[in-house]
């Protein structure tokens, strides 16, 4: 039985709430990234997204393929 407040911060959370085979299957769908607890890394990401928005995404881009090319070329 799945709890409404399933904590998905670790793979172990699945095993506390689900049968082992189902927990394993669901845990395989996630890739966990552990980020610093301080917020300074968010500032760096916000700066990168701002630069991307100003330098690349400030106009209409017709197709997803063109958008992909533009973003990859920007970075």
- Contact in structure between 74 and 56 (CB atoms under 8 Å): yes
Tokens representing 41? 């890394």
For residue 8, the model assigns a pLDDT of 60
Instruction: Walk along the chain (75 residues) in steps of 10 and give the mean pLDDT of each run.
Output: 58 85 90 74 86 90 93 89
Map residue 23 onto helix, strand or coil. Answer: helix
Residue 11 DSSP one-character state? T
Among 12, 11, 13, which residue's Cα sits nearest to residue 32?
Answer: 11
For residue 7, the model assigns a pLDDT of 61
**Domain ranges for the chain:** 1-34, 40-74
- Statement: the pTM of the whole predicted model exceeds 0.75: no
């Amino acid at each position: 039985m799945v709890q409404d407040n399933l904590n998905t911060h670790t793979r172990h959370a699945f095993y506390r709430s689900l049968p082992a085979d189902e927990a394993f299957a669901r845990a395989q769908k996630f890739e966990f990234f552990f980020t610093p607890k301080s917020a300074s890394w968010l500032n760096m990401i916000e700066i990168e997204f701002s630069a991307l928005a100003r330098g690349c995404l400030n106009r209409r881009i017709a197709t997803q393929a063109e958008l992909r090319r533009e973003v990859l070329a920007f970075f």
